[in-house]
Amino acid sequence: MSYGIYIGRNLTADGHAWLAGYGDEPSSHWLEIVDRAEHAPGSTIAVGVGPEADMPGVRSAIPQSATTARHMRVSYSYYLGVPAPITNGGLNEHGVAVRDIWSTSRPELIAMTPAHQSGPNYSDLARIVLERARSAREGVDLIAALIAEHGYSDYGGNSHLIADPDEAWVMIQFSGGKGLWVAEKLGADDIRASRPGYVGVVPTKPDDTFLFPDHFIQTAVGLGWFDPASGPFDVNRIYGDGKGPWEGPAWVEAEMRKRAAKEGGITREDVFWSISTEVLTGDTAGYGQVVPLVHPGFWELRMMWHAPIGPVTAPLLPVFLGQAGVPDEYAQHRYLTMGEASRFLDRRKEAKDPATVSHVPQGIEVADAAFYEFKRLMHLCFQDEGLLRQSWDHWRRMEGSVAAQVHEVLRTAELLLDAGETGLAGRVLTRESHVWLREALDDCKALVDAGVVVLRRSERLTRTGPPSSPKQLW
């Protein structure tokens, strides 16, 4: 289902905008940095969904871009039969950040979706924006052009929050196979939380704030869903679920507005809280991602704060676009990865059936899996309020300590880049990020060991009955 929040730069203590969120998927999650790449003329990429998807379709090939941008993202292996690896978004070298967020279409549109639907799916669109877009608006135009030329493979409706340091756009893609989409521009004074993504009243013709295809209004008129004489065109009521903002987004937007009104405005800590609070974040949140939307002097200095699970029981820590890669512990492991239950790290049957061999490198699998270890901590904390508060306080202290060091690390790397020492700058960024991520994992394992002892000795480990978790708004 996923959750995203955009905060405009005029409301923040640091003077820049933020994009944050997480994805809700019942599968493995891993962090990756993807290199810039050149592609031969005529290259294509496979997109869409196959017959095994919950809403089936036909896989197809579309042209690849001549160059794809360096970017970082969180990937995962399963959602509603969409082909893996899947992504909800991340950050690219041009400063474009993307968050993919579910947004259901009205039931009649879902029912109209052809069984042979084709074209990019929601993950394809997020990945393509990361690979190609140089601005948020260009990301919207890319998606619009792809839908118009190749179609759209959906699972009931979807949206994307696409942001750069200057502006952001909420873009909804609707079910039905009719090429329907709408985009709303967000600016320096806006706060927008999406879960699901929504757009309200729009003018009957596109303008600087609202974009949609030429047939957008007329399609609703032809289906009998809108009478131009009856009043304004409410997108959510006519093409969506008709509920407007749900309780969770309305609550967190109001809370962030209160923080924006305080002296100094919204801080990094406030942004982290917006995706860490147990009111919104629990077991379904597969990771955490916070992007400061800035234009540094070098693309290598772009960064996002990453948590390997929902940050209610994990810290958000820096990952730099210029670092060489991620620690093995944060890469893809077999834990909860779709299809790995029937595969082996053994090649004896490979010639007869290649699908029996694991997709995870053996050298990676011997490392601890951060996703698994932090999930252990989450489920301990959800059984005991005291442990939850201790874990929360510990990770917030760690985030504060690391935040105090980030400026020096970025300044060191910038001086090296200014001197033409790209390799040395990359080594600094890699080393510091890896140290922080691994220190967090060590702390996590220590907290798990202590928590197990406390709950076992007090006979409070839940071995039967329903699982425990904080009450959430969604």
* CATH number of the domain that residue 267 is part of: 3.60.60
Find out whether 139 and 133 touch, Cβ atoms under 8 Å: yes
Range 78-106 burial, b when 16+ CB lie within 10 A, else e: bbebbbbbbbbbbbbbbbbbbbbbbbbbb
Please indicate, yes or no, if residue 457 is contained in any of the structural domains.
Answer: no
List, as one string, the DSSP characters of 292-326. EE---SSGGG-EEEEESS-GGGS--EEEETTSS--
pTM higher than 0.95: yes
Residue 421 lies in a domain: no
In a domain, 244, yes or no: yes
pLDDT reported for residue 289: 98
Q: Is residue 318 part of a domain?
A: no
pLDDT value at residue 474: 85
Could you tell me which residues come within 8 angstroms of residue 45 by beta carbon, excluding any fewer than 6 positions away? 61, 62, 63, 64, 124
* CA separation for the pair 183, 20 (Å, rounded): 19
Quote the CA–CA distance of 229 and 282 in Å, as a whole number: 45
Tokens 């010639």 appear where? 351
Note the pLDDT of residue 448.
98
The pLDDT score that the predictor gives to residue 1 is 79
Q: Would you say residue 54 lies in a domain?
A: yes
**165 assigned to some structural domain:** yes
Tokens 């955009």, residue? 6
Mean pLDDT by 10 residues, the chain (474 residues): 96 98 95 98 98 97 98 96 96 98 97 97 98 98 98 97 98 98 98 97 97 98 96 97 95 98 98 98 97 98 98 98 98 96 94 94 97 98 97 98 98 98 98 98 98 95 93 90
CB count in 10 Å sphere of residue 296: 18
Residue ranges making up the domain that contains 215: 3-295
Residue listed under structure tokens 């082909």: 83
301 within a domain of the structure (yes/no): no
Quick one: pLDDT at residue 306?
Answer: 98
Count how many domains the chain has.
1
Q: Is residue 204 part of a domain?
A: yes
N-terminal to C-terminal alpha carbon distance within the chain:
10
